[in-house]
Amino acid sequence: MRARVLGLAAMLLTTLTGAVDVAASDRVTYTPVSPDAPVVLPRDHGAHPGFRTEWWYVTGWLRTKDGPVGFQITFFRSRLPFDDANPSRFAPRQAIVGHVALSDPATGHIVESQRLAREGFGLAGASTADTDVMLGDWRLRRDPGGSFATKVSGEDFTLDLTLTPGQPALLQGDRGYSRKGPDTGEASAYFSLPHLKVGGRLSRGTTNEAVQGEAWLDREWSSSLLDPRSVGWDWAGLNMDDGSAVTVFRVRNEAGHAVWAGGSVRGADGTLTVLGAGDVTFEPRRRWHSPRTGADYPVETDVVVTTPTGKRRFTLRPLFDDQELDTRRTGGPVYWEGAVRTEGGRGYLELVGYGGKVSL
């Protein structure tokens, strides 16, 4: 349930083909998410081309010589609505979108880069055998030992990082079947790898320095996700200093009320608490008004979760306010996603739909 997937298919059809055979979309069958063993590892580290869309979504914090910097490395695969019976290898059945971004308080705004290409012909691809996604010279790959290597670059920076798991994968929802609405079909297959140890290099301009940090990887795929009443969502993933991990989200309607909510809390001892629709509330504390888009984002927010041991409150404060992203040129919306702190931890917060309704 991540922002840049929104609007992707329609934009890609125009960008990659210039014309759409509408009837062909009726002959495409997308795989539905099943509540029966939706995630099986290590099999599901690979791509799932039968589903409408999926993503590999890395967010994290780096320690640099000048202070903390947030980063994102994301890849999306989208199954385009072209006739399954078309035998041509030139038919653009899959597209890959990539986005990388730095959140540096010294800069005061997001520095980012975006790419899009059809799968195949050495341009882009996502392996079904294991995590191995490429888009030109951008890549995210899982090695046999379980670590991830990635190298991506923008006009002004390059990230060359290794991400090493320190904990088992966290299967969200019911063994990876994650509800996103009141209808059982409004769901995704979803697992996370919190507390990834990060090491590597960050190049900016003429500087090239060794960096370390911690990250979070979300893996999610679906063919039907959002309730028709939804206008957007809020999501946060938090790596806590004691080794615990917190995932929270809500899907919002036009009045700002939750259509659905959920998440999980994995304790430092590995105990997992799955959060249901009534267990998560978002309480805005302070908003930031974008001078570019006019959107008002609740960039400082209290998240209250209810667990069997009682209520817990997490106050999320941004590394800096202007972490708004505009991904319209690769099919996504304008939204806010940035590095946030909370007492005893840090992570990323995503705020979608505050500049107008988004749709999948």
Could you tell me if residue 312 is inside a domain? yes
pLDDT of residue 21: 46
Could you tell me if residue 360 is inside a domain? no
For every residue of 22-73, DSSP letters joined together read HHHHTT--PPPP-SSS---TTGGGS--TTSSEEEEEEEEEEEETTEEEEEEE
Confidence of residue 333 (pLDDT cuts 50, 70, 90): confident
Q: Which residue has the higher pLDDT, 155 or 203?
A: 203
How far is it, in rounded angstroms, from Cα 59 to Cα 298?
A: 19
195: left (phi over 0), alpha (psi -120 to 50) or beta: left
Euclidean distance between the first and the last CA atom of the chain, given in angstroms as a whole number? 10
Task: With a cut of 70, say whether residue 352 has pLDDT above it.
Answer: yes
How far is it, in rounded angstroms, from Cα 51 to Cα 56?
A: 14
The domain in which residue 138 lies consists of 3-352
Could you tell me if residue 73 is inside a domain? yes
How far is it, in rounded angstroms, from Cα 67 to Cα 232?
A: 32
Could you tell me if residue 170 is inside a domain? yes
Alpha helices (runs of H) in the chain, residue ranges in sequence order: 8-17, 22-25
- Tell me the pLDDT tens digit for each residue of 147-195: 999 999 988 899 999 999 999 999 999 999 999 998 888 999 999 999 9
The model scores a pTM over 0.75: yes
Q: Domain containing 241 — which CATH number?
A: 2.40.370.10
- Tell me the pLDDT tens digit for each residue of 289-330: 999 999 999 999 999 999 999 999 999 999 999 999 987 776
Could you tell me if residue 329 is inside a domain? yes
What radius of gyration, in Å, describes the C-alpha atoms of the chain? 19
Domains: count for the chain: 1
Q: Per the structure block, which two tokens stand in for 24?
A: 């062909």
How far is it, in rounded angstroms, from Cα 81 to Cα 97?
A: 16
pLDDT of residue 90: 67
Q: Give the rounded percent of residues in the chain with a pLDDT score beyond 70.
A: 89
By mean pLDDT, which of 10-19, 99-108, 240-249 is the weakest? 10-19
By mean pLDDT, which of 16-20, 133-137, 166-170, 199-203 is the weakest? 16-20
Could you tell me if residue 175 is inside a domain? yes
pLDDT of residue 17: 44
Could you tell me if residue 359 is inside a domain? no
Could you tell me if residue 118 is inside a domain? yes
